[in-house]
């Protein structure tokens, strides 16, 4: 239904226009006014769809009428047609300015009136339709925005609830190491309120030590932009309980994909670890005596062999088999036989030192791993004590029995290179002891004189080897884990023994240390390594470092700082390019003298590393007492980093300790990408191992390190003048 308003002071016109308007379309309602003021009064309360007005009227002309009408708020878009006899443009202009929509000339052409009116009404309807559509769209948008806000708020709340209730500690820190967020689980564990630690350094959450380590790992994530592989860590709770967690760290990114922080989540796996430890204990122990079993023993032998590489550590494997144990069972019954075995186990346990290992490896078979053996007399003396200990169990529980045993001894390295060979040879020796007369011990190498003779021969050959220039140095690259670049190499001694090929140092260093030849040999090593390193000039101008293994004997018998100063002067090598590797053996000399020597070496500008770190018995203590620059984690810990959580714990402890003392930490013996990833996660700074390169001739190392090809040694004439 459309409403049309007619305003005209003449009755005839009003009637004609009203009739015409009513005919425009069906359902048109017409309101006609003779007085424009009356019309305005009605229009103030009603909204028409079209107004048709005369121009020349008493009281108010057409322009004034339209202007007044347009002041009504709802009137601004209602079409208004003005009927005028005046052709003059000035009237039309006034009407347009006042807000007229269209004009009709008087006398009015009826057809034109109806067509104009119809078009304007149609336009008006379309306008109204559009308006209502826009209106509903706006309302819909408004509604949906409101509900989305609500949904978002709702889901955020739910997410926060989930984060606070999952049994996982979750926290986030920014790149500067300040806490951005902690969930309830973690806040409860450390006994703080989540609000209290926001913006505080992470040490507020983890304590100083753990906080520093945590921050160091965060830095790795921020710098690489990569998540860390999950790792296990031990954290002490507010209540003082130790818990084991499986922790992951992943980068938090902002809108432009920059890493701005690190999200850490730690899952408590204490219960699982306990079960694992229990199962491991069961798998490695004999249920009757609770002593280590064969599996455990073999593992210990393997580790000892790894540590005895340098040739200055011998050990003996004693295989003990009770003589006539069947008689014990016959006399006392099986339960009594078990008690006898337990008693023997207890007594033997009392005879060993803390670093030795006693195992029960069969029904009436025990084995003892005797470490720190200097010579075969040590082993023989100990075997005698074993026999006496067992014999003391004679008359057990009042039974008329003599406790006796046969002991077979295999020594490492002389009698076997691996655990299997040593066990086999000790077994062989044990049978010989039993066959001879029983209750005796027997060495695998029956003829100890033959052994002594071969040692004398080795001594002689070693003495000549230096003169005959049979020694060479191999170089093994050392890698900076932050950049992946080569930092330098460790110089490792090789003996080109005629008829024997390339001999590794483990086979002769022990003898050289015993007979004193280690001094001239190692002087040569130091000189040769410095001479070689002096030729190392890389394209980028960065100096490469050479590490030289020092023998404890040198520190005992020599003025090492003086020697090093002299060799540096001769070779003109920059002191910072030289690194000296020392071992715990150095402590055989009085510690104050050692500290003095090391200080003087550091003052020269050379670096000092503690080699095979972690294998010694007092490692963790002496690291803080000796002035050194680097710790080299022993390869035996790196080897089982994945499977043996104890080793991961040792590595972690060394890294934490090293960093707290401001030392660089290098991991030795890295063979796989998995070990490398684990070491990175632990925060190791440097690495060395077959994964990066085996010890290689100097020539090969120079190629690998990209040493300038026109370096002095590559050029024949220059070589001559240098030497």
Which residues are near ligand C2E by CB under 6 A?
309-310, 476, 492-493, 504-506, 509, 522, 525, 549, 551, 581, 611-612, 635, 668-671, 689-690, 695
CB neighbours (10 Å) of residue 100? 25
Residue placing its CB nearer to ligand C2E in the complex, 302 or 722:
302
The interface partner of residue 654, options being ligand C2E, Mg ion, none and the CB cut-off 5 to 8 Å by kind, is: none
Picking from 531, 612, 401, the residue whose alpha carbon sits closest to that of residue 622 is: 612
Q: What is the smallest separation between the CB atom of 228 and ligand C2E, expressed in angstroms?
A: 23
Q: What is the smallest separation between the CB atom of 432 and ligand C2E, expressed in angstroms?
A: 32
The interface partner of residue 671, options being ligand C2E, Mg ion, none and the CB cut-off 5 to 8 Å by kind, is: ligand C2E
Could you tell me where the beta strands, DSSP code E, fall in 387-440? Answer: 404-412
Q: What is the smallest separation between the CB atom of 491 and ligand C2E, expressed in angstroms?
A: 6
Picking from 535, 518, 527, 529, the residue whose alpha carbon sits closest to that of residue 489 is: 529
Q: What is the smallest separation between the CB atom of 567 and ligand C2E, expressed in angstroms?
A: 14
Residue placing its CB nearer to ligand C2E in the complex, 265 or 313:
313
Identify which range of 81-89, 225-233, 380-388, 611-619 contacts Mg ion by CB under 5 A.
611-619
The interface partner of residue 49, options being Mg ion, ligand C2E, none and the CB cut-off 5 to 8 Å by kind, is: none
Options 612, 647, 682, 686; binder of Mg ion; rule CB under 5 A = 612
321 in contact with Mg ion (CB under 5 A)? no
Burial 535-549 (b: 16+ CB within 10 A, else e): bbebeeeeebbbbbb
549 in contact with Mg ion (CB under 5 A)? yes
Identify which range of 38-46, 478-486, 604-612, 696-704 contacts Mg ion by CB under 5 A.
604-612
Return the ∠ at Cα 588 (arms to 585 and 590), rounded to 5°: 130
Residue placing its CB nearer to ligand C2E in the complex, 356 or 579:
579
Q: What is the smallest separation between the CB atom of 669 and ligand C2E, expressed in angstroms?
A: 4
CA 67/CA 90 separation, integer angstroms = 16
Picking from 473, 419, 215, 396, the residue whose alpha carbon sits closest to that of residue 304 is: 419
Please answer whether residues 521 and 491 qualify as being in contact, where contact means their C-beta atoms are separated by less than 8 angstroms: no
User: How many alpha carbons lie under 13 Å from residue 84 in its C-beta half-sphere?
Assistant: 22
Beta-bridge mates of residue 246:
232, 267
In the range 248-277, which residues lie near Mg ion by CB under 5 A? Answer: none
Burial zone of 159 (CB within 10 Å; 0-12 exposed, 13-18 middle, 19+ buried): exposed
Residue placing its CB nearer to Mg ion in the complex, 175 or 665:
665
The interface partner of residue 669, options being Mg ion, ligand C2E, none and the CB cut-off 5 to 8 Å by kind, is: ligand C2E
Q: What is the smallest separation between the CB atom of 638 and ligand C2E, expressed in angstroms?
A: 8
Picking from 597, 611, 550, 541, the residue whose alpha carbon sits closest to that of residue 574 is: 541
CA 185/CA 688 separation, integer angstroms = 40
Q: What is the smallest separation between the CB atom of 549 and ligand C2E, expressed in angstroms?
A: 4
Identify which range of 29-37, 152-160, 579-587, 699-707 contacts Mg ion by CB under 5 A.
579-587
Q: What is the smallest separation between the CB atom of 474 and ligand C2E, expressed in angstroms?
A: 7
In the range 644-673, which residues lie near Mg ion by CB under 5 A? Answer: 668
Identify which range of 2-10, 183-191, 396-404, 544-552 contacts Mg ion by CB under 5 A.
544-552
Torsions phi, psi for 53 (to 5 deg) = -130, 145
Q: Which residue has the tokens 């039974």?
A: 399
CA 630/CA 609 separation, integer angstroms = 4
581 in contact with Mg ion (CB under 5 A)? yes
Residue placing its CB nearer to ligand C2E in the complex, 428 or 524:
524
The count of residues interacting with Mg ion (CB under 5 A) is 5
Q: What is the smallest separation between the CB atom of 558 and ligand C2E, expressed in angstroms?
A: 12
User: How many alpha carbons lie under 13 Å from residue 61 in its C-beta half-sphere?
Assistant: 10
611 in contact with Mg ion (CB under 5 A)? yes
Burial zone of 487 (CB within 10 Å; 0-12 exposed, 13-18 middle, 19+ buried): buried
Beta-bridge mates of residue 264:
171, 249
User: How many alpha carbons lie under 13 Å from residue 634 in its C-beta half-sphere?
Assistant: 21
Q: Give the binding site for Mg ion (CB under 5 A).
A: 549, 581, 611-612, 668
């Amino acid at each position: 239904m459309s409403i049309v308003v007619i305003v005209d002071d003449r009755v005839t016109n009003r009637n004609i226009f009203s009739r015409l308007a009513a005919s425009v379309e069906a359902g048109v309602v017409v309101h006609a006014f003779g007085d424009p003021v009356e019309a305005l009064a009605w229009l103030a309360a009603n909204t028409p769809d079209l107004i048709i007005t005369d121009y020349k009227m008493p009281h108010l002309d057409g322009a004034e009428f339209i202007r007044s009408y347009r002041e009504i708020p709802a009137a601004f878009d209602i079409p208004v047609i003005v009927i005028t006899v005046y052709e003059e443009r000035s009237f039309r202009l006034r009407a347009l300015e006042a807000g007229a929509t269209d004009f009709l000339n008087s006398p009015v052409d009826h057809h034109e009136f109806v067509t104009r009116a119809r078009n304007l009404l149609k336009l008006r309807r379309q306008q109204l339709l559009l308006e209502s559509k826009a209106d509903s769209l706006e309302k819909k948008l408004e509604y949906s925005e409101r509900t989305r806000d609500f949904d978002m708020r709702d889901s955020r709340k739910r997410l926060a609830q989930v984060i606070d209730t999952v049994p996982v500690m979750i926290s986030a820190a920014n790149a500067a190491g300040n806490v951005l967020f902690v969930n309830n689980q973690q806040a409860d564990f450390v006994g703080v309120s989540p609000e209290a630690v926001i913006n505080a350094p992470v040490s507020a959450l983890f304590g100083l030590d753990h906080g520093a380590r945590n921050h160091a790992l965060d830095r790795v994530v921020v710098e690489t932009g990569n998540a860390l592989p999950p790792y296990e860590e031990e954290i002490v709770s507010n209540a003082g309980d130790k818990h084991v967690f499986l922790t992951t760290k992943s980068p938090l990114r902002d809108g432009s994909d920059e890493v701005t922080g690190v999200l850490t989540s730690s899952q408590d796996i204490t219960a699982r670890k306990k079960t694992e430890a229990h199962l491991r204990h069961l798998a490695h122990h004999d249920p009757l005596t609770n002593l280590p079993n064969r599996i455990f023993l073999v593992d210990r032998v393997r580790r000892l062999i790894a540590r005895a590489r340098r040739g200055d550590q011998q050990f003996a494997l004693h295989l003990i088999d009770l003589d006539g144990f069947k008689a014990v069972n016959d006399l006392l019954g099986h339960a009594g036989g078990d008690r006898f075995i337990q008693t023997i186990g207890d007594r033997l346990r009392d005879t060993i030192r803390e670093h030795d290992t006693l195992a029960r490896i069969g029904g009436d078979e025990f084995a003892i791993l005797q470490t720190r053996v200097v010579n075969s007399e040590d082993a023989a003396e100990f075997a005698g004590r074993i026999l006496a200990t067992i014999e003391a169990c004679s008359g057990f529980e009042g039974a008329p029995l003599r406790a006796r045993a046969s002991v077979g001894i295999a020594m490492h390295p002389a009698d076997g290179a691996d655990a299997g060979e040593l066990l086999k040879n000790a077994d062989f020796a044990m049978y010989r002891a039993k066959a001879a007369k029983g209750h005796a011990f027997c060495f695998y190498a029956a003829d100890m004189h033959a052994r002594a003779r071969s040692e004398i021969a080795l001594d002689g050959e070693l003495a000549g080897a230096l003169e005959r220039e049979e020694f060479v140095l191999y170089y093994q690259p050392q890698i900076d884990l932050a950049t992946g670049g080569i930092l330098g190499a460790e110089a490792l001694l090789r003996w080109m023994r005629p008829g024997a090929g390339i001999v590794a140092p483990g086979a002769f260093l022990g003898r050289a240390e015993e007979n004193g030849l280690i001094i001239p040999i190692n002087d040569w090593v130091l000189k040769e390594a410095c001479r070689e390193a002096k030729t190392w000039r890389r394209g980028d101008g960065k100096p490469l470092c050479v590490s030289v293994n020092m023998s404890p004997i040198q520190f005992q018998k020599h003025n090492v700082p003086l020697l090093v100063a002299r060799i540096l002067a001769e070779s003109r090598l920059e002191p910072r390019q030289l690194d000296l590797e020392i071992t715990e053996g150095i402590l055989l000399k009085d510690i104050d003298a050692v500290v003095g020597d090391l200080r003087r070496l550091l003052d020269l500008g050379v670096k000092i590393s503690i080699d095979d770190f972690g294998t010694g018995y007092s490692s963790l203590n002496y690291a803080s007492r000796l002035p050194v620059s680097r710790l080299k984690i022993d390869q035996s810990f790196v080897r089982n980093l994945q499977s043996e959580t104890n080793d991961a714990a040792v590595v972690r402890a060394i890294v934490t300790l090293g960093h707290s003392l401001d030392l660089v930490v290098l991991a030795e013996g890295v063979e796989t990408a998995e070990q490398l990833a684990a070491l990175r996660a632990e925060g190791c700074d440097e690495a060395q191992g077959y994964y990066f390169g085996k010890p290689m001739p100097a020539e090969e190392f120079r190629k690998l390190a990209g040493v300038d090809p026109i370096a002095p040694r590559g050029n024949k004439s220059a070589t001559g003048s240098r030497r």
